[in-house]
Structure 1
């Protein structure tokens, strides 16, 4: 773990890094910087670190690998599935193999993080960390000399990892590279599928909430039933909450619909118009109706106007 002083922490935060702090020498875990006063960076009683960002592999939370190449000579760690230590240390030399590890998300700055990464990869493959009791040796690895395990070269240009170009001796070292890549790809695929499933569930819940709200506010059976057109891609189980809500709302609307007294049709209103003023108002309403029925309604208007005018003439005589 790389401990920062106040100045280093402030500069890192200014560069966009997420910073955590705690009292110097405390056994407590680090906490988010926002939970400390603004003067914390100049207080000698606090120490800082760049916050650890986690990713999910299977059921495990794993510290994310670095995404940018470190400075040459930086001590790095990679998860190692074929060593007891579960990690392999090496000095960054910006070689092709180093960059390949970086692109595949397998480079850590802390050994514990690389070991956690390895445990997650073994777990997602349904593997075990328990040693085989039939093994001839508790410590010896079948693909390398025991003295070579977890070694770190002092020369940047000579640093080696489990994933550098294979040596001439153990052919099984090629297998470790292929196996690790396969497991990493499986882990990435699992994470991607999980994220897609979570996104789909969020979208489903959001749309379901909107539809349930719409059904509750619908005033007619037609408005209620219209909400089903949005559920064609859904499974029967996904559709059930909405169908239950629709059934309930239709039952609520049934007595109300029965009690509604339909107003007389426009044609009946025209035929029963009491005077020319009322007829004029109804004639205006005719213009808002379907063009196909307007001629028939205007015929009724003319007929009723003729009757009302003749009634007026008869009274005057």
Structure 2
């Protein structure tokens, strides 16, 4: 599950995704967004995730299987076989048959949902067989690339040696060769640029940008360049939502005082939207400017009280401005002791909780922290094999 911050969650919600929320740092279940105040995106101390759709077949309800854009190399997956088996392993993007299984909807997120999906498929055929759970290393099933030998080499090769060579080639067909991992930053940037240009929906652009930081071969300037291309593409696809807003006109101190008093009187009088609509533009300009220069988070959050009679659409620009200021006042600080806590995790449950904390860290430190998670998981779980060595 990917943990989102307020900015990412708000962008995903604007793109039509269902968002869930919970208090950060507590191991409680995510809840629907309607259980939280409208300003939750602008408040610190909350974390978000995208709600995964559910599928129901013959009274069996399970989460929608993984799609390729949700998976990263080394992520745990559960492959539902056609022989009544569920195979746990780690995702390998270069393993073409595994990628096809994901596209075919045969790869689940956890064991419970894999079992429910398998039983649902059995119910469609009127069968009920026991499921077999296996833990494997998918690297051992990948076929190595066959290298062709030069014709001039070993001209005196005996017939028996030729037969042996042919038999060896038959055992390793080149139908599914391992794909070469691109490591040239310029070629990677060129590939990402092409993908950005081909996007026709905002959702596709938002999903693509999370791949930049996850790529271990790009420098910071490359990632910033790609993010700039993403912002330009978002403005092209939805200028009303993503185009920069005009700067706010400065107001005199007397005008600000009058606007503040008008807003307070409006709240006290409890008047309807007809009067609100006449004063909203001026009051909003004042509140936006005050949000931009707020000295503390409390001062920024207090501005929302002047909009209690506004509609959600009227309030949205102020909420965005408050959130921007809160991010400026409270930049994310990485927990320096997180690596120590990972190395000292007592069991898999504690390690799973720390892995959630890692996903909320800065993208540039996540790979190092995930290496520590994999190392500790291998120590706690004898079936875990992050290095892909055949057992």
Could you say whether these structures have the same fold, taking a TM-score greater than 0.5 normalized by the shorter chain as the test? Answer: no
TM-score bracket, normalised by the shorter chain, equals 0.3 to 0.5
Greater relative contact order (Cα < 8 A, sep 6+): 2
TM-score scaled by structure 1?
A: 0.36
Computing the radius of gyration from Cα coordinates, the structure with the larger value is 1
With normalisation by structure 2, the TM-score equals 0.30
